[in-house]
Amino acid sequence: MKKLIQISEEEFKSFEERYRARFINSLSGFKSANLIGTVSNEGQTNVSIISSAFHLGANPALIGFIIRPDVSPRHTLINIRETGICTLNHISKDFVERAHQTSARYSLDQSEFIECELDEEYLEDFKAPFVKNSPLKMALEFVREIPIEENGTHMIISKIKSVWLTAGMLQEDGFIDLESQEVICVSGLDSYHTTSRLGRLSYAKTDKKPTWLK
Amino acid sequence: MKKLIQISEEEFKSFEERYRARFINSLSGFKSANLIGTVSNEGQTNVSIISSAFHLGANPALIGFIIRPDVSPRHTLINIRETGICTLNHISKDFVERAHQTSARYSLDQSEFIECELDEEYLEDFKAPFVKNSPLKMALEFVREIPIEENGTHMIISKIKSVWLTAGMLQEDGFIDLESQEVICVSGLDSYHTTSRLGRLSYAKTDKKPTWLK
């Protein structure tokens, strides 16, 4: 049996600030890494990396994410409040450095699309910008904002209005194969990972063990 | 340029229910896979797999997760409300089948620890059960429940009270190396993945490009 180390709340509270941020940010596990694209009413575009998007429900199709107003995505929050829309774009291995760079503190009149060399793309008549390089992207509509008083962050609930995905990702049964397009995930604040599929497991029933699907 | 396929809200709303669930559940990207351990006031233990845990903040150290009351983790919700505590346990490659099996609809008087052959473990004087096999686990305290009226789910905000991790996972700067213990992630409803680190990127600054850390 491997040795476990315990770190209590008292101990991690006393950690140096950046050390604690790296530690606590690692605890929730592997996270989806996404670029949120927005535009202001004046037409200024913005794109920010977030690692807090999560599935909230399939019917209606909802995605939630957390915005921290004290860091870069604050422009994202302002734009979403103004326009009621944003885009969510998955990141693949080939542009992970450029995606990470969107977390730098650019000013409100700078577009990370230009500063980070990411190509803007407009799909159908949706007003918010998509990331052209992204293999899987969504048009999202703002539903509701929940203030998290415990730390001053904002949880955004959004509704999926439309999905664009690379041909070949969609499997026969509705599953989307993210790995086939080298969609990456993130752990902690700055560690990026590709994935290797172990497999898909059969729907769990109480009377039999799950099996790996072909 | 690869071909993009569009699937609009109108289209995916008309998908067959299971197909739509697989599709929409895939959209948020790679997710953390965790086992939540709870106990009722009567001492009945419960453990359920969830893929909705997310980092909510480092100071205070908060983790959020979503509970769907219509599926297996409903016992989890009842127990958390009763006792105000739970454990969050990461899943590694060697017990992913048993972890998945906890999603079967066992009855309230059955413990998934027994049914799924997962070993219970009690650490310090924390009343909720941990998963012994897990390389990284946390004692969580209930903070607040936010009803998501849009679909009848419940968002739980919890506070990290203590962390146990396998010796060697904690790096010099506070980052926790999940990959070293083969912690897995999940995509969609049933696809499990190990990860391969691309690397860690330097803190983004507006005046220079990020570099891969050694």
* Cα–Cα distance for residue pair A30/B21, rounded to 1 Å: 22
Helix (H, G, I), strand (E, B) or coil at A110: coil
Closest residue on chain A to B63 (Cα):
A28
Task: For residue B66, give the chain A residue with the closest CA.
Answer: A56
State whether A170 and B57 contact (CB < 8 Å).
no
pLDDT at residue B56 greater than cutoff 90: yes
B195 touches chain A (CB under 8 A): yes
pLDDT of chain A along its 214 residues, tens only? 679 999 999 999 999 999 999 999 999 999 999 999 999 999 999 999 999 999 999 999 999 999 987 665 678 999 999 999 999 999 999 999 999 999 999 988 889 999 999 999 999 999 999 999 999 999 999 999 999 999 999 999 999 999 999 999 999 999 999 999 999 999 999 999 999 999 999 999 999 999 999 7
Strands B54-58 and B61-67: antiparallel
Strands (E), chain A: 4-8, 31-32, 34-39, 45-50, 54-58, 61-67, 85-90, 120-121, 130-131, 136-148, 153-166, 185-187, 191-200
Helix/strand/coil for B214: coil
E-strand ranges in B68-177 read 85-90, 120-121, 130-131, 136-148, 153-166
Per-residue confidence (pLDDT) for residue B1, from 0 to 100: 63
Q: How many residues does chain A have?
A: 214
The secondary structure element, H or E, covering residue B11 is helix B9-13
Mark which residues 10-39 of A lie under 8 Å from B by CB.
12, 15, 17-34
For the residues B167-171, what does the mean pLDDT come to?
97
B52: pLDDT confidence band, cut at 50, 70 and 90?
A: very high
Res B194 pLDDT > 90: yes
- Whole-angstrom Cα distance, residue A29 to residue A3? 20
Candidates B20, B176, B194; nearest CB to A26: B176
| Nearest of B170, B45, B47 to residue A4 by alpha carbon | B170
Nearest to A183 by CA among A199, A162, A166: A166
Q: Which domains does chain B have, with CATH numbers?
A: 28-193 (2.30.110.10)
Tell me which H or E stretch contains B19. Answer: helix B17-27
Alpha helices (runs of H) in A30-140, residue ranges in sequence order: 74-83, 96-101, 112-115
Taking the Cβ of residue A191 and every Cβ of chain B, the question of whether any pair is shorter than 8 Å is answered with yes
> Which amino acid would we find at residue B187?
S
CB contact under 8 A, B165 and A204: no
Percentage above 90 pLDDT, chain B: 92
Residue A128, token pair as written in the block: 């918010």
Count other C-beta atoms under 10 Å from residue A207's C-beta.
5
Give the largest Cα separation in chain B, rounded.
60
Chain A residues touching B20 at Cβ < 8 A: 58-59, 174
Q: Which parts of chain A fold into alpha helices (H)? A: 9-13, 17-27, 74-83, 96-101, 112-115
Average pLDDT rounded to a whole number, residues B194-201: 98
A56 interface with B at CB cutoff 8 Å: yes
Nearest CB to A26: which of B123, B157, B178?
Answer: B178
CA distance B82 to chain A (A): 22
Chain A touched by B111 (CB under 8 Å): no
Of B6, B23, B58, the CB nearest to A162: B6
- Partner-chain contact B190 A213, CB within 8 Å: yes
Q: Is B180 on the interface with A (CB under 8 A)?
A: no
> In the predicted model, what is the mean pLDDT of residues B74-90?
94
Q: Is A156 on the interface with B (CB under 8 A)?
A: no
Q: Could you give the 3-state DSSP secondary structure of residue B67?
A: strand
In sequence order, the 6+-apart residues with CB closer than 8 A to the CB of A186 are A30, A31, A32, A33, A51, A192, A193
- The whole-number average pLDDT for the span B28-54 is 96
pLDDT of residue A71: 61
Q: What pLDDT shows up at residue A70?
A: 63
- Other CB atoms closer than 10 Å to residue B70's CB: what's the count? 9
Cβ–Cβ gap B178/A32 under 8 Å: no
Identify the sign of the CA torsion A187, A193, A196, A197.
positive
> What letter represents residue B35's amino acid?
L
Residues of chain B neighbouring A146 (CB-CB closer than 8 A): 146
Residue A210 sits at φ, ψ, to 5 deg, of -70, 150
Residue B69 has pLDDT above 80, yes or no: no
User: Residue B75 has what pLDDT?
Assistant: 86
Query: What is the phi-psi region of residue A173: left when phi exceeds 0, alpha when psi lies from -120 to 50, beta otherwise?
Result: alpha
Mean local confidence (pLDDT), B128-154:
96
Cβ-based contacts of A130 with chain B (< 8 Å)? none
A210 → closest Cβ in B31, B100, B199: B100
Residue recorded with tokens 């990207």:
B29
Report the pLDDT value the prediction gives residue A164, as an integer from 0 to 100. 98
- pLDDT for residue B8 is more than 80: yes
Chain B residues with CB inside 8 Å of A190's CB?
Answer: 175, 200-203, 213
Gap between the Cα atoms of A162 and A130, Å rounded:
12
